[in-house]
Amino acid sequence: MSVSVKNITKFYGSQKALDNVSFEINPGEIVGFLGPNGAGKSTMMKIISCYLPQSSGKVSVCGFDVEEESLEVRRNIGYLPENNPLYADMYVKEYLEFIAGIHKLNNKKEKANEVIEMVGLTPERNKKIGALSKGYRQRVGLAHSIIHNPRVLILDEPTSGLDPNQIIEIRQLIKTLGRERGEIAGEGKTVLMSTHIMQEAEAICDRIIIINKGKIVADGKASEIGNFKEKNQKIIVEFNDSIPLISEALLKINGVLFVSKQKETLFKIEADSLKDIRPEIFRFAVENKLSVLTMQKEEQRLEDIFKELTTE
Ligand code: ADP
Ligand code: MG
């Protein structure tokens, strides 16, 4: 297990920021940690990265306990904090060599050059950090977080504040790091990245954990979270023509729960999600001398589910 979080609770004074949170992340997984502002994402990431002690519960990273073996944990983790603090007056190369020194790496210059190349900072490497655009500063942060070749990356809102082009570039970079830059060939780094943007999690991650008010409310593959809440299936069907009392007739199909007429020949049919009723709809059409012009299952969008799970 790369990251194991067991029954973590965190209080700030009397305020509970995390409430009995548990999850595990396998080596090589890219996991999105999704939730609205104030949900507890940063708090959880700080605990995993040894920056903040938990109130109760256990966290281990690559088998090392965050409280008892924090040096080992830090060695295995690359952490990009939410506001990516950087020294504005240092030059990119100088800064990364300095970080390599903090990690006590032998070949500081080489290591700095290697990560500069990896994150696409080569053209900017002789500039002062303060003179860089936000997107390039974020690359410096990423370079910082991977310089010691950690097995686990913890990225807190890595794309927040970037413009759309920079967002695409940073997302691509995270994907690349996750898929190709692992210690073992073919096995990428384990990545846990937080975001409050649904589409971002969907675009980058294999798996999504949704947190709200300090509690995990969903955990699964992006495609599975769609089925997380057992929902009725909705089918939109258009016939070439109509028959008298067509809605009532459709309602008689086994499994159909609700029919709403959108237009004269266009219907939205809700049915029990356990049974595929599409063949029944075709049979209905044939029996009534109708043709089905279009039929489509209305997918419940992940974004709607996110909204549903995180608002009352
Ligand atoms: P997120 O990263 O999901 O936006 P945070 O982990 O930053 O959420 O915050 C979770 C909750 O804990 C929020 O209600 C926030 O106000 C509170 N909180 C975070 N940091 C502190 C702190 N240092 N002191 C007191 N309360 C805090
Ligand atoms: Mg945060």
Question: Is domain 232-307 in CATH 3.20.20.140, yes or no?
Answer: no
The angle formed by the CA atoms of residues 66, 54 and 196, to the nearest 5 degrees, is 95
- 207-212 and 30-34 beta bridge pairing: parallel
In sequence order, the β-bridge partners of residue 294 are 238
Query: For atom 19 of ligand 1, which residue has the closest CA?
Result: 43
For 175, residues 6+ apart whose C-beta sits below 8 A from its C-beta are 30, 204
247 CA distance to ligand 2 middle (Å): 49
Output the pTM of the full model.
0.78
Cα 151 to ligand 2 centre (Å): 22
Residue 63's pLDDT is 96
The closest residue, in CA terms, to atom 23 on ligand 1 is: 12
Task: Using the atom order of ligand 1, give the atom closest to the CA of residue 40.
Answer: 6
Residue the block writes with tokens 């509690």 = 215
Ligand 1 atom at shortest distance from the alpha carbon of 46: 6
**More confident of the two residues 223 and 81:** 81
Task: Compute φ and ψ for 189, nearest 5 degrees.
Answer: -70, 155
Within 63-197, where are the H helices?
70-76, 92-102, 108-118, 134-146, 164-180
User: Phi then psi for 175, rounded to 5 degrees?
Assistant: -60, -45
> Does ligand 1 lie within 6 Å of residue 43's CB atom?
yes
Confidence of residue 281 (pLDDT cuts 50, 70, 90): very high
- Tell me which long-range contacts 253-257 makes (C-beta under 8 A, separation of at least 24): 253/277, 253/280, 253/281, 253/284, 254/280, 255/280, 257/232
Q: Hey, which of 5, 8, 10, 15 would you mutate to test ligand 1's pocket, going by the most ligand atoms within 8 Å of its Cβ? A: 15
Task: Kindly report, residue by residue over 214-243, the tens digit of the pLDDT.
Answer: 999 889 887 777 555 456 788 999 999 999
- pLDDT recorded at residue 184: 47
Q: What is the CATH T-level fold of the domain 3-225, as seen in this structure? A: Rossmann fold (3.40.50)
Q: 272 and 181 in contact (C-beta within 8 Å)? A: no
Nearest CA, atom 12, ligand 1: 17
Across 285-312, average pLDDT:
82
Ligand 1 mutation target, pool 10, 33, 42, 48, most atoms within 8 A of CB: 42
Question: Is the Cβ atom of 42 under 6 angstroms away from ligand 1?
Answer: yes
- pLDDT (tens digit per residue) in 6-21: 999 999 999 999 999 9
Annotated domain spans of the chain? 3-225, 232-307
For ligand 1, whether the C-beta of 39 sits within 6 Å is yes
Domains 3-225 and 232-307 alike in fold: no
Closest atom, ligand 1, to C-alpha of 45? 6
Q: How far apart are CA 69 and CA 159, in angstroms?
A: 30
Mean per-residue pLDDT of the chain:
89
pLDDT digits (tens, 9 = 90+) for 135-173: 899 999 999 999 999 999 999 999 988 888 888 888 988
Q: Is the CB of 40 under 6 A from ligand 1?
A: yes
Query: What is the structure's pLDDT at 199?
Result: 80
Calculate mean pLDDT across residues 22-48.
94
Instruction: Decide: residue 145, CB within 10 A, 0-12 exposed, 13-18 middle, 19+ buried.
Output: buried
